[in-house]
Amino acid sequence: MAYTIVFKVEGGADVKTQAEQGENLLELARRIGVAIDAPCAGNGTCGKCRVKLISGALEVEKNPHLSQEDFDAQWRLACQSKVHGDAVIWVPMSASAFRNNIKTADLSSPEELARYEAMTEEIFSSGIARGVQETGVGVAVDIGTTTVTAAMLDLATGHVLAKASMGNGQIRFGADVINRIIQQSKPGGVERLRHAVREETLIPIFESLCRGADKKPEDISRIVIAGNTTMEHLFVGADAQTIRLEPYVPEFLELHGKTAGELGLPAKADAPVIFAPNVGSYVGGDISAGVLPAMLWHSGEMALFIDLGTNGELVFGNEDYMLCCACSAGPAFEGGDISCGMRATHGAVDSCTIDPETMEPTLSIIDGDKPMGLCGSGLIAIISELFRCGIINAQGKFVREGKRVRYDQYGGAAYVLAFADESATGSDITLDESDLDNFIRAKAAIFSAIRTMLKSLDMTVDDIDKIIIAGGIGSGIDIGKAISIGMLPRQELTKYSYIGNSSLTGACAMLLSDEAAEKVFEIGRNMTYIELSTHPGYMDEFVAACFVPHTDAHLFD
Amino acid sequence: MAFKRVPQKFTASVNEVTIGTGDKAIVLGGENVMPLYSFDAPITNRVKIGVEITDSGYDKTVPGIAAFYAGAETIGEIAKRASEMPGGDFVVLTLEGADPNGANKPIDECVAIAKEVADAIDVPLAIQGCKNIEKDAEMFNKLAEALQGKNILLISARTEDYKQIAAGAVMAYGQKISAESAVDINLAKQLNVLISQMGVAADSYVMNVGSAAAGYGFEYVASTLDRVRGAALSQNDAMLQMPIVTPVADDAWAVKESVVSEEDFPEWGPRENRGVQMEVSTAAACLAGGSNAVILRHPASVKTISELIADLT
């Protein structure tokens, strides 16, 4: 028999549905379009899909991510709950934040737009001519593992007519590419993942773009897609298994001749869909497209391009050659694997200072006055402050005591960022030693990748003339603080610049110019890909970097 | 053209750390040449050998060891005998009985054993814990207090307990400690940095960069020793210039070659010979890599290694 389940979404409308006994609550929510963030894909390992049972019954499995206290207060993990009668479920903002309020670099702020225009100008003044055969409007899309962002452009004038972004619908199949690839190999997986990104993500984005620009799908006559290698494979339905299996060679690097009709996108049926080329299994079209506005290829200066995300991708070189590699930073920069971590959305702490005497924090919070959790840039700031104030040692272990530093019965310590009465969630927001450990590993992955790549050229960080940071998390990070904890090389701050979502900017340029698209293909073919996982020196560099700021302190003097 | 020998000596040198007091005190380290390269520059403090006994005495199943200690009944007598072993420089007492997962001897009892040992000998004393983090941290502090003035070496402080041990044993009671890490140059250096950041002077601690019995992954030990010594001497890395003390006996007598009986493996010959061979080959390899002291058990091993050291320095 069917039961009635009502989802009361914080800050949204109630959603009522019928469900069968034993149906998984998270899957049910997904089916009817209630967004609940679950970076671990419902494995019960991240504890992010918390919902509150207001009335009725659920069959639940106990989970270590939920304390007895919270359980008694009727908090449940959606992925560990099954329908067991009529129920009313409250979905708090923290569980659904990723979908509605995600803060991404998607050209929506005036600064981003100005940055975009300046970069586009630079590309087209470097000898690359504007102009394409198609007329009307075009759409450029950056399919990220976490977020999909898109812009609609007038092909004749180059004006941005509309932009849109959304969480990647595939997120319920796992937060990282490896989980998604595994999901693709399951029966029906190819179609499920395509559906999640096309029907649930791209089509709504296209519709939103058309609404925003007052256009019809038939007006769209050219599409550019830039995504990492896995995202491009999953979208077109190509077998992605070889990406994660030795020798890590993807099914395709370049994909030509696809049309919107063939791929099921709402546009003119014969509109060409151009895919930014992949370079290797873990350096994809988002990077080849992103390198275009980074302008490495147009200068004699040695530049390092870093795209910070779930995977960190690095490109180093100049007009003569380019080297690239990827390292797995893990989800720490985006708030995953961190007990109080969250994406850079409403309520996230994005910066902080700590008083060295009292150890009291002063927090900066995105769109709010009460903190809900910590996003990547907030993490960098807090760890740098904890270290500066001598609250943690170089291994990320707590060495001071006080009201803000709490020790549990096993001797594990945590820093209290916000006590229950100061937080938006009603419970303490703390950062513990295992969080610090996860973060230190993430920053070590980036820094050791930089060193290993440079070492393979017999160069050091002093040979870098400029450092270009891209990616969603980059917007907020305090470079000085990131250097102080050994995440980025110690170089003058003037060498650093931030270019936002360069992948989308590159895709837009490819949309407006056949020559730019050709240039991106050339960049993709000319980049040398280094596989770090098989590089003999990488592990050594990594262990040396798992220290704040670094085992070799001279690098940060 | 005739061969011209260029002495390979460095401006940097390994720290000197003194253990024990009076005439019999020993100094570890101090060299500014590659391990045992006394032809490049004089090695003032030759490599030392520690003779290991445990809180329950010695290994009675090995005839050569049993014969050496025959007639010694109390732990004091056993320690005295160990201190007189030809070739040995210091005594190492391993308090394995303190292990909460083993005999779980109370700390007071362990301290009493250590005092009896210390009173019975005139050579320096090193004490190894039971490898249980909580027990060792507490026990080392009590030992440091009870043996104040003896300048003992406590083996070892690890990432998990270095704070308590360094603060209690070194800063409060002036003893020496050994910083132990798991066969990785970076981990070794990180622990040394943390200990020095606590304000512990460079001449107050040695390090154990990890070990293994020969043939049991020793290539990792060899490369770690090589790189640690290389960094200390050629790069003048102050955070890797501590003398290295390597407990060899523990690993050497625990592997299959030293454990299985002659009845089960007649073609392998007597167990005792195999154990000594493991101990000698592992110790020799550690010395070649840069250890400033090795800890051994069998009188034959101590004799062989001491002759090797005498011949090479």
Q: What CATH number corresponds to the domain at position B190? A: 3.20.20.20
What average pLDDT score do residues A256-284 get? 96
The Cα A360–Cα A422 span in angstroms is 13
Q: Is residue B231 part of a domain?
A: yes
- B194/A394 Cβ within 8 A: yes
Q: Is residue B5 part of a domain?
A: no
- A553/B194 Cβ within 8 A: no
How many contiguous H segments (helices) and E segments (strands) does chain B have?
11, 10
Interface membership of A393 toward B (CB under 8 Å): yes
Q: pTM for this structure? A: 0.81
- A395/B197 Cβ within 8 A: no
For testing contact with chain A, the best of B133, B190, B198 (most A CBs within 10 A) = B190
Instruction: Count other C-beta atoms under 10 Å from residue A62's C-beta.
Output: 11
- Whether the predicted pLDDT of A39 surpasses 80: no
What average pLDDT score do residues A310-333 get? 88
Which of A25-34, A365-374, B155-164, B246-255 has the weakest average pLDDT?
A25-34
Q: Is residue B259 part of a domain?
A: yes
The Cα A426–Cα A420 span in angstroms is 5
Encoding tokens for residue B100? 């909460």
Per residue, the 3-state secondary structure of A493-513, as one string, reads: HHHEEECCCHHHHHHHHHHHE
Instruction: Provide the 8-state DSSP code for A5.
Output: E
The Cα A28–Cα A14 span in angstroms is 14
CA distances from A532 to A329, A344, A437, A448, B223 (A): 13, 29, 21, 10, 22
pLDDT band at A106 (very low <50, low <70, confident <90, very high): low
Contacts of A483 (CB under 8 A, 6+ apart): A489, A490, A491, A549, A556
The Cα A520–Cα A289 span in angstroms is 6
State the first-to-last Cα distance of chain A, in angstroms, to the nearest integer. Answer: 69
Q: Which of B157, B238, B223, B218 is nearest to B191 (CA)?
A: B157
Q: Is residue B7 part of a domain?
A: no
Which of A95-109, A242-256, B4-18, B299-313 has the weakest average pLDDT?
A95-109
The total number of residues shown for chain A amounts to 557
pLDDT in tens, A378-411: 889 999 999 999 999 999 999 898 999 998 887 7
Encoding tokens for residue B62? 């090995």
pLDDT band at A528 (very low <50, low <70, confident <90, very high): very high
**What is the pLDDT at residue A404?**
94
Distance from CA of A445 to the nearest CA of B (A): 15
User: What angle do helix axes A110-124 and A502-512 make, rounded to 10 degrees?
Assistant: 50
Distance from CA of B186 to the nearest CA of A (A): 5
The Cα A30–Cα A169 span in angstroms is 9
Q: Is residue A467 part of a domain?
A: no
**What is the pLDDT at residue A298?**
94
Pairs of residues, one from chain A and one from chain B, whose beta carbons lie less than 8 Å apart: 25
CA distances from A508 to A225, A499, A512 (A): 9, 14, 6
For testing contact with chain A, the best of B159, B184, B186 (most A CBs within 10 A) = B186
Residue of B nearest to A393 (CA): B194
pLDDT above 90 covers what percent of chain A? 57
Residue A540 vs residue A112, higher pLDDT: A540
Instruction: Count other C-beta atoms under 10 Å from residue A17's C-beta.
Output: 17
Last residue of a domain, one of A421, A436, A451: A436
**What is the pLDDT at residue A99?**
42
Q: What CATH number corresponds to the domain at position A62? A: 3.10.20.30
pLDDT band at A341 (very low <50, low <70, confident <90, very high): confident
Contacts of A308 (CB under 8 A, 6+ apart): A329, A333, A376, A446, A469, A470, A471, A473, A474, A477
Q: Which residue is associated with the tokens 């709950």? A: A81
Nearest CB among A395, A399, A540 relative to B190 is that of A395
Q: Which of A397, A389, A383, A341 is nearest to A485 (CA)?
A: A383
The Cα B121–Cα B104 span in angstroms is 26
Interface membership of B194 toward A (CB under 8 Å): yes
pLDDT band at A29 (very low <50, low <70, confident <90, very high): confident
Which H or E run contains B130?
Answer: none
**What is the pLDDT at residue B296?**
98
With H, G, I as helix, E, B as strand and everything else as coil, classify residue B306: helix
Distance, C-alpha A504 to centroid of its chain: 14
The Cα A235–Cα A16 span in angstroms is 31
Residue A165 vs residue A179, higher pLDDT: A179
**Edge-first strand listing for the sheet containing B125-128:** B205-208, B176-180, B153-157, B125-128, B90-94, B48-54, B293-296, B245-247
Interface membership of A543 toward B (CB under 8 Å): yes
Distance, C-alpha B59 to centroid of its chain: 18
pLDDT in tens, B94-139: 999 999 999 999 999 999 999 999 999 999 999 999 999 999 999 9
Q: Which residues pair with A328 in a beta bridge?
A: A311
- The type of residue at A81 is S
What average pLDDT score do residues A522-543 get? 92
* pLDDT, chain A, mean: 88
The Cα B132–Cα A477 span in angstroms is 42
Encoding tokens for residue A556? 């940060």
* pLDDT, chain B, mean: 96
Contact A372, A342 (CB under 8 A): yes
Q: Is residue A226 part of a domain?
A: yes
Bridge pairing between strands A220-227 and A137-143: parallel
Residues 245-264 of B with CB under 8 A from A: none
Q: Is residue B3 part of a domain?
A: no
What average pLDDT score do residues A259-278 get? 96
Contacts of A534 (CB under 8 A, 6+ apart): none
Last residue of a domain, one of A72, A99, A126: A99
Residues in chain B with CB shorter than 8 Å from the CB of A540 are 185-186
Domain match, A12 and A92 both: yes
**What is the pLDDT at residue A308?**
84
- Whether the predicted pLDDT of A2 surpasses 70: yes
What average pLDDT score do residues A275-304 get? 96
- The type of residue at A292 is L
**What is the pLDDT at residue A98?**
45
Encoding tokens for residue A361? 């924090």
- Whether the predicted pLDDT of B173 surpasses 90: yes
Q: Which of A162, A165, A187, A183 is nearest to A173 (CA)?
A: A183
Contact A217, A210 (CB under 8 A): yes
Domain match, A170 and A271 both: yes
Residue of B nearest to A396 (CA): B194
Interface membership of A57 toward B (CB under 8 Å): no
Domain that holds residue B196: 16-28+38-312
Interface membership of A395 toward B (CB under 8 Å): yes
Per residue, the 3-state secondary structure of A465-477, as one string, reads: CEEEEECCHHHCC
Residues in chain B with CB shorter than 8 Å from the CB of A551 are 186, 189-190, 193
pLDDT in tens, B179-204: 999 999 999 999 999 999 999 999 99
Q: How many domains does chain B have?
A: 1
Nearest CB among A393, A399, A540 relative to B186 is that of A540
**What is the pLDDT at residue A164?**
85
Q: Is residue B267 part of a domain?
A: yes
User: Following DSSP, what letter does each residue of A433-471 receive, concatenated?
Assistant: HHHHHHHHHHHHHHHHHHHHHHHTTT--GGG-SEEEEES
- Whether the predicted pLDDT of B152 surpasses 50: yes
- Whether the predicted pLDDT of B302 surpasses 90: yes
- B184/A553 Cβ within 8 A: no
Nearest CB among B163, B184, B193 relative to A394 is that of B193
What average pLDDT score do residues A157-167 get? 88
Last residue of a domain, one of A248, A275, A302: A275
- A551/B189 Cβ within 8 A: yes
Residues in chain A with CB shorter than 8 Å from the CB of B194 are 393-395
**What is the pLDDT at residue A500?**
83
Contact B181, B228 (CB under 8 A): no
The Cα A73–Cα A64 span in angstroms is 15
The Cα A500–Cα A113 span in angstroms is 10
Q: Is residue A490 part of a domain?
A: no
**What is the pLDDT at residue A396?**
93
What average pLDDT score do residues B228-251 get? 96
Contacts of B161 (CB under 8 A, 6+ apart): B133, B134, B136, B137
Residues in chain A with CB shorter than 8 Å from the CB of B200 are none
What average pLDDT score do residues A203-209 get? 91
3-state helix, strand, coil in chain A (%, to 5): 35, 25, 40
Q: Taking the CA of residue A192 as centre, how many other CA atoms within 13 Å lie in the half-sphere pointing to its CB?
A: 17
Encoding tokens for residue B303? 């004799």
- The type of residue at A217 is P
Q: Is residue B1 part of a domain?
A: no
Nearest CB among A399, A540, A551 relative to B190 is that of A551
**What is the pLDDT at residue A101?**
37
What average pLDDT score do residues A480-498 get? 94
Per residue, the 3-state secondary structure of A226-279, as one string, reads: EECHHHHHHHHCCCCHHHHCCCCCCCCCCCCCEEHHHHCCCCCCCCEEEECCCC
Q: How many domains does chain A have?
A: 3
User: What angle do helix axes B218-234 and B271-289 make, rounded to 10 degrees?
Assistant: 30
Angle, alpha carbons A454-A455-A459 (nearest 5°): 65
**Edge-first strand listing for the sheet containing A50-60:** A14-20, A2-9, A81-91, A50-60, A75-77
Bridge pairing between strands B245-247 and A137-143: unpaired
Residue of A nearest to B197 (CA): A393
Q: Is residue B33 part of a domain?
A: no
- Whether the predicted pLDDT of A97 surpasses 50: no
Domain match, A175 and A271 both: yes
**What is the pLDDT at residue A102?**
42
What average pLDDT score do residues A260-278 get? 96
Q: What CATH number corresponds to the domain at position A224? A: 3.30.420.480
Domain that holds residue A399: 336-436
